Structure 1
Amino acid sequence: MNSNPSIPLSVLDLASITEGSTPAVSFRNSLDLARHAEQWGYHRFWLAEHHGMPGIASAATSVLIGHVAGGTSTIRVGSGGIMLPNHAPLVIAEQFGTLESLYPGRIDLGLGRAPGSDQAVSRVLRRGLGAGGEDFPALLSELRAFFDPASAETNGVVRAIPGEGLSVPIWLLGSSGFSAQLAGQLGLPFAFASHFAPDYLLPALELYRSNFRPSAVLSKPRAMVGVSVTAADTEREAKRLATSQQQAFLNMIRGRFAQLPPPVDSMDGIWSPYEEAALSRQFSYAVVGDQEQVRQRLQAVVDETQADELIIASQIYDHQARLRSFELIAEAGAKLQR
């Protein structure tokens, strides 16, 4: 059991809907994974806001966080992230104030500025307001003020109840430099999605650390790195399991959104040479292998990024195989050093 890792490991769950399944099954699997992750010593269990995607069930992210937090006891549960421009800051303050009141000391609020879907969904969600995310800093300031009792007077008669006076850790998430720089300037923790934008990982971390200003929240930078990991008892099986995620991303770049497909023995004949090269670049930080290979590769990521924490995403079709993957990752993580 990985009860006290030198490098904390966390879980990023996309609540994947597998081919032929339903969101109800996905929610049961997410809770089961969270319970196992708690036993294996994972630090956090985060869920991501996406909309209109047949293969992802976590659209109502706050509701699902409550479901997972209510079915676990100690693991931190939160958003990785809430796409703040989709929402009124007051609503998010109230939702996470409610969650923190129900599960004190266990709730995280990770925030992003992307729509979490395509522009058509964005227009429906945002009703044409702030569709580009340029208003993110102002929305973030408004949200933080709702948690601060000293700001109640400046907010006038509008107060977040519950929310006001509660300590809900806020993380900024990103796949580019915008949120990295903002997180540094505000002295907030920062998480980078290397499984989305591997080319920007190191520049974004440098931007975050070079712009960091100590705050009431942090005295020094705290960076979390998201990594896609598929582990199995053998390298061959891990590579086979990883083809589900490869097919899912291939569908995305082809403009086809679908449920998570079952693995295949080989991607030959499924992708073109150009698509294979594109996926190879996209998954340049992805870790696929047996437990020792996973340990070595994660150690290399820690050495290269000097990450304070790793958050693991793992899109595996079979639920039992996904549990086994996270169990192996937890055991490998106990041996990581910084």
Structure 2
Amino acid sequence: MKLSVLDRSRTREGGTHAQALRDTVEFARQAEVLGYHRFWVSEHHGVPGVAGSAPTVLAAAAAARTSEIRIGTGGVMLPNHRPLVVAEQFGVLESLFPGRIDMGLGRSVGFTEPVRRALGHGKDDAAEFGVQLDELLSYFTGDAAVSGYPATGLAVPPFVLATGAGAQVAASHGLPLVIGAIRGEQAMVEAIDGYRARFRPSRWAREPYVVVSTAVAVAETTEEARRLLLPEAWSMAYSRTRGEFPALRSPADVLATPMTDRERKYFEESLRGTIFGTPTEASAELDGLVRRTGADEVLLTTSTYDRTAMLTSYRLLAQTLPTQPLLTTTA
């Protein structure tokens, strides 16, 4: 089982955006020591609880701090950018860190209408994702009307982050698929089945390749692991009821916060489908997820208030998997 990491540079109550970004770069180094396959960063705009707004810049910092682990984006939201600029940015990354860069691409637009206006894009722009993807890839193959130096001629592996229609785009373009159970596991499995059935081999991938993304928390006890997921679940509930995604709060603060019925509903929904438990329990659940989806790789994310507990979670999980080349470290 290939295990990789997605870090969204979450801010913590009382902390700063600068600290969150520095933590992400240091986390990349620690993920490499633990033997994880990839380390990806994300793109969010105008979100108080997320510092990662420029994924290619952050990926460069993470790549400079590491030496072997693959570094990439999970992902660059293509509707927010001109394909030529994205190609140039990844061309620079691949030129500086050859053979280690992944180009994860998504079709989402801004979180709110004011953010979308600031970016100069609207919800309808997501419908042009397939066209934008064609243009972006053409700069690497040299088939574009202009040269996208230094991307031209470079082979930067592209991945499509998708739900629903996005999976069809990945299949038609012959690209690896990254997918999570946002709409429930059954919907995710159906999307994966459709992707495999419609997949058309390309110069980028001869066979379907599926990366399943999921939230995971591991601790010495099941209850302790569940508590690690509470800060992110509360942030999700808060954002869906108030339109703003806040910094992470401690599990104790979350448990002490009165919730409306609506907030409680979203809070519980956010916890549903996550994986948590002791190392043995979490490993078994991941095995089950891989069996049910046929995933080639799992992309893990753990957002919690206690950063030390988060790093312990990744370490405990890595130690349960014989295929993960755990290295020794004093970090």
Provide the TM-score with structure 1 as the length reference: 0.90
- Deviation of residue 131 (structure 1)? 4.2
**Structure 1 letter corresponding to 2:246:** A
**Structure 2 letter corresponding to 1:139:** Q
- Of 136-145 and 270-279, deviating more is 270-279
Partner of 2:171: 184
Partner of 2:127: 134
Partner of 1:118: 112
Partner of 1:98: 92
- Deviation of residue 319 (structure 1)? 1.4
Matches within 5 A, 1:248-287: 248-255=235-242, 256-264=244-252, 267=255, 270-287=258-275
Deviations 1:39-81 (A, max 9, x none): 1110000111100011101101111000000000000011101
**Structure 1 letter corresponding to 2:6:** L
Residue 246 of structure 1 pairs with residue 195 of structure 2: no
Mapped to 2, the partners of 1:198 and 1:32 lie a distance apart of: 32
Q: 1:94 to 1:257 in 2, by over 3 A?
A: same
**Structure 2 letter corresponding to 1:296:** A
Whether the aligned pair in 2 keeps the contact of 1:240 and 1:266 (CA below 8 Å) is no
Whether the aligned pair in 1 keeps the contact of 2:63 and 2:97 (CA below 8 Å) is yes
Mapped to 2, the partners of 1:20 and 1:252 lie a distance apart of: 19
Of 43, 47, 58, which residue of structure 1 is paired with 2:37?
43
Whether the aligned pair in 1 keeps the contact of 2:6 and 2:300 (CA below 8 Å) is yes
- Deviation of residue 128 (structure 1)? 4.2
Deviations 1:138-159 (A, max 9, x none): 111110011112x15xx0xx21
Partner of 1:87: 81
Residue 201 of structure 1 pairs with residue 194 of structure 2: no
Provide the TM-score with structure 2 as the length reference: 0.92
Whether the aligned pair in 1 keeps the contact of 2:236 and 2:245 (CA below 8 Å) is no
* C-alpha RMSD of matched pairs (Å): 1.9
Whether the aligned pair in 2 keeps the contact of 1:180 and 1:208 (CA below 8 Å) is yes
Matches within 5 A, 1:1-338: 7-125=1-119, 127-128=120-121, 131-149=124-142, 151-152=143-144, 155=145, 158-174=146-162, 176-194=163-181, 196-199=182-185, 200-255=187-242, 256-264=244-252, 267=255, 270-334=258-322
Mapped to 2, the partners of 1:329 and 1:39 lie a distance apart of: 13
Whether the aligned pair in 1 keeps the contact of 2:219 and 2:278 (CA below 8 Å) is yes
Whether the aligned pair in 1 keeps the contact of 2:229 and 2:271 (CA below 8 Å) is no
Whether the aligned pair in 2 keeps the contact of 1:188 and 1:217 (CA below 8 Å) is yes
- Of 85-94 and 250-259, deviating more is 250-259
Residue 68 of structure 2 aligns to a residue in which SS?
Answer: coil
Mapped to 1, the partners of 2:3 and 2:304 lie a distance apart of: 18
- Deviation of residue 280 (structure 1)? 3.2
Whether the aligned pair in 2 keeps the contact of 1:85 and 1:130 (CA below 8 Å) is no
Deviations 1:175-228 (A, max 9, x none): x2111111111211000022x333531121111111112222222210000010
- Deviation of residue 257 (structure 1)? 2.2
Residue 138 of structure 1 aligns to a residue in which SS?
Answer: helix
- Deviation of residue 335 (structure 1)? 6.9
- Deviation of residue 266 (structure 1)? 6.9
Q: 1:71 to 1:18 in 2, by over 3 A?
A: same
Mapped to 2, the partners of 1:297 and 1:273 lie a distance apart of: 30
Equivalenced residues, count: 322
- Deviation of residue 274 (structure 1)? 4.7
- Deviation of residue 282 (structure 1)? 3.7
- Deviation of residue 267 (structure 1)? 3.4
- Structure 2: runs of 5 or more not aligned: 325-331
- Deviation of residue 269 (structure 1)? 5.7
- Structure 1: runs of 5 or more not aligned: 1-6
Q: 1:92 to 1:335 in 2, by over 3 A?
A: closer
Whether the aligned pair in 2 keeps the contact of 1:17 and 1:57 (CA below 8 Å) is yes
- Deviation of residue 330 (structure 1)? 1.4
